[in-house]
Structure formats: structure tokens, C-alpha cells
Structure 1
Amino acid sequence: MDTIERIEELKREIVKQKLLIESEEAKIEKVKRCCGVVAELLCAQCRELAEEVVWDILGHMIECSQKKISGNEKAGLKEAVKTLLEHEMKNLESLSADEEMWPHIDCRIQVNLDERLKKAQFELKGIENKMLDGTRAQLRKRAVQMEEMKSLCSRMEQAVLSIESWEKLYLMFMADMEIRRQSGMDDTFYLMEREDIRRKLQTCFEFTDIICRSLEERLRSSVRISVNNLGLLLAEHGFHFPKSLWNRTRTNIIYMGAIRLTEDMIEEINRYAAGIMFIEKHLHNIKLATDRVYRGQMELERLSGQSKTVKKLVV
């Protein structure tokens, strides 16, 4: 292939890679919209959970109060709690726009499955090379390590394939679910679809723990803040109760895991995490395409300069 043909080929390849980047960016936007819907839904569910927990604690504290509370005092206290909850609800609504909490907003890498797979394959190759020499004890230990690493690589490869295969299904499911929710249809109409996508994305969930744990903790933390604010409100209204009772109640709620996310919330968190995996796959593809564009442009500049030099020499 002569220089001119190679230059034309490079130009075509650069255009192709740039179009690929545009396509991947468009796909990211589709998934980001889905993740945004899930984030808003989770914040709404968190608001409901916070409200339920606060009212439960208030009822418990009133029952255990050392002094008799009049009907007017109860009514005033409940009105104050309603005002508190309205304020807390506004704070919880703003959570859906919190970049630190939701990695889809700024496309922050959380799992990086492709790089982790590459690293695991490299480590596996290193263990295989070490199997060529060593004592019996060392070889037995390395054999166990090799089997564990092979299993990890296999699971990662399946997860990567799952990500590539099921994104369209995920987007269709999310669009369908949104239509059904807006129309007020009962959840039972799409239980089979939910089970189907959960099963097909199961291979991804092992590697999304970092996202799920982070979201679960942030959502629980939001409820804890509401509980703390309830304690301050009770004190402000002169509601006296045994300090030990409040400390015990507060400890159970805040530190002993009494704040339990619903099954629906856990499922939505898993679905959100799957969306992040899709975004990361597209980011990985963009990185590869960007690298190809850069290398192509460098080669194009080199060949163009070479071609100009040859023309000058010929002249």
C-alpha cells in the first residue's frame, strides 16, 4: 500500500472512530436518563421510609413518656412533626441531583470491570508461569490460587458479555416500566419482566457491590438525619422523656440496623447499579476509540509530512 492510499485509509478510520464515539455518547445519555428516573424513584421511596420511621418513633416516645400528654399537646406536637417532615422531604428530594451520591450524573467510574478483568487475566498468567517451578507445597498453594483466579476471570467474562448482551433489554424494560408507572398500572403486570431482567443481569451484580453499598448507606443516612432532627424537635417542644429511652431508641434506629430498606428499594438499587455498568462499558469503548483517533492522527501527520517531503525532493 503506497503512502497516499494509507493516508486515505487513516482518514476513513478516524471518521469511523469519531462516529463511534458519538454513538457511544448517545447511548450513555439514554442510560443516564434511566438512572436518573431510578434515582428519583429511590429518593421518593426514601422519603416514605423516613416519614414512616419518624412517625413510628414519635408514637413510641409518646407511649413511653413519663408525663401524661394532653390531646392539645399531642396535636401540637404532631403538627410540628408534619412541618419537620415537609422540610426533610425537600432535603430528600434534592438528593436525586447529588453528584457525589449518584455516579451516573458525572459518569464517574465505580466498577471498571474491563480493567479489572484485564488485571485478573494478567495475574492468572503470572500464576500459571509460577506453576512451572517450585516445591510441592508451593505448587499446591499456587494450584488453589490458579483455580480461584480462573473462576474470577470466568465470572468477569460472563459479566462483560452480559453487559454487552442485555443493555437493549434493560432500556426497553425501563421505558416500559416508566409508561406503566405513569399510567398507574399495578406492579403485578410486569413482575415477570422484572424477574427476567434480574436473572439476566445477575452475573453483573457480584461486581456492583461498591455502588449498592454506597447507595444503601447514603439512603439510610438520610433517614438517620430525620431521626436526629425529630429528637431536637421533641426537646424544643418541652417533650420530656427518659434520656436512656431516647438514646436506646436512637441507637436501635441509627446504629443497630433498624432502618431497613424495602425489597423494592434494594431491587431499584441493583437496577441502578446495572445501569452504571452499561455507562462504564460505553466509557471504555469511547476511551478505546479516542486512543485509535489519536494514534491515527499521529500517523496521518507523519505520513502527510513524509509525503510533502517526497514531493519537494521530486520537484
Structure 2
Amino acid sequence: MVNRSMGSKCFDIFNYSFMALFCLTILLPFWDMFILSISDAKLSASLSMRLWPKTFDLSAYYFAFSDNKIPLAYLVTIYRTICGTILSLVLTVIAAYPLSKKDLPLRNVMTTIFLIPMFFGGGLIPTYIIIRKLGLVDNLLVYILPGAVGIFTILIVRNTFMSMDKALEESAFMDGAGYLTILFRIYVPLSKPILATVALWSMVGHWNAWFDALIYIRSEDKMVLQSILQRMVAMTSNFSEEALQFQMQNPGLFVTSQTFQAAVTIVTIGPIVMVYPFFQKYFVKGIMIGSLKG
């Protein structure tokens, strides 16, 4: 057993204490918002920190789901997140594998072509014209196809493939395996950390995206959850009218803009926050592996 100095022990105590306080500064605002969302609306004007609800009330959640906008937006956002993440992962792996081969003809040229869009873009107007010409305006595919290929993630996964032992591939070739078999039976299983990291990036990006819905979507039933949240938070006057109508139909329920915004925010961030712990064990390892220079 290694004897540790007093200075080392003091440093660990300070380090753990600092990290605990830092985590509290992150968690307390979310906890306060959650408590506000399930508290009595009459107590929403209080400026003090809410550690526990004095009166349990789910009126804000009933009001949030009383209209079909949020449930439909939830389904659209889930569809976008799942389909967009799967397509992005598949295209990333398929593009990264050949680029990891040093004997690939014109490999450097293709890598340069991949790098150009990372530094230069056409802008909003040319992008909108292309989207319209492709018939993706007011189409659910506009959430998935334009951002399906991420150049940065392709390079990260390519570096991971380049760092793998070539003897695995050579032995698989001797056993009669083809490139696709090697890719999906050897490279992909060995690349779980980086692929989980890329999947997490894609999921968070799709779940939080709202600007493309604002630009390209016209139908209310195709809006994503973030766009609905942004509209509801911004339209306070319409909220008052809808809240009054809701309270007239449900005499026992009372909602304010503060409790409603808190409830919708919790509903919005809840799923992605619950998914994150399942990817956390791969996150740091995946970044470190993918950052190796090939």
C-alpha cells in the first residue's frame, strides 16, 4: 500500500469538494425548474430556491398535453432523432472505412474534398434554394437528409479505423471475408466507444434543433418539439387566452406562464438527459481514441 502525503490527501479533499459544489450548481437549476413545474401555480411568483414542492400540482403538464401540438411534435422529434442518428452513423462508417485505407487511389484528394465544406458554406439562401429544388420543403425528410453526413465525425471515425491492428483484417481476408463483412463484423464492434460518442453528438443535435423547422416547415403537424416550445414561450398574450380557456374547461386546474414554461422545458430535455448516462461510459474513451492522428 502506497503511503500518501498530507498534501496529496488535502488536494483530493479540495478536488472532490470543488467538483461536488460544481455539480450542484449544474443540478440545482434543473431541480428548481422541475419543482416549479409540479408546484401550485400560486407559488410560482416566489423568487426563493424551491427544494421541495409545498403543494403537488400537475396542472401545467395537463395544459401542455391538452393540445395535440406537443404530442405530435414529440413524435416528430423522436422520429427525427432516431432516423437521423441511424442514417448518420451508417453513412459515417461507410465513408470512414475506405478513407482509412492508405492504398486507396486519390485518398488525399477525396479527403481534401471532404474538408472543404467544413470551412466554406454557401449560406442560407443558396441552401434554401437547393432544399426547395429537391422538394424537401415541408417534408419530414428535410430533418434527416441535409445533415446526414458530418465531415468532422467521418474524420474522427476514420482515425479510429486507422489505429486498428491490420493483422485482424488480413486474417479475415485469409478466411474469405469481404470488405463489408470485415467492416461490420470486426471494425464496427471494436469501435463502439467512438460510434457511441458520434451517436450521442447526433442525437443531441437532432433533439435540440429548431431552426430548420422554422425555415423549411409550413405544416403545424410537422413541427419539432423545440419549435413549439420556442413559439409558446414567445407568445405570452396567446398563452393567457389559451390558459384562461383551459381553466374554464377544467375548474380545478390553474396554470401560469412560469409553471407552463417549466413543464414544457422538463418535457423537452427529459428524454435526452435520461439517454446520456447510457453513453457516458463510452464518451471520454471515444473522444480520446478518435483524436489519434492517423
**Same topology, TM > 0.5:** no
Q: Which has the higher helix share?
A: 1
- TM-score normalised per structure 1: 0.30
Q: Using CA pairs below 8 Å that are at least 6 residues apart, which structure has the higher relative contact order?
A: 1
Q: Taking structure 2 as the reference length, what is the TM-score of the superposition?
A: 0.31
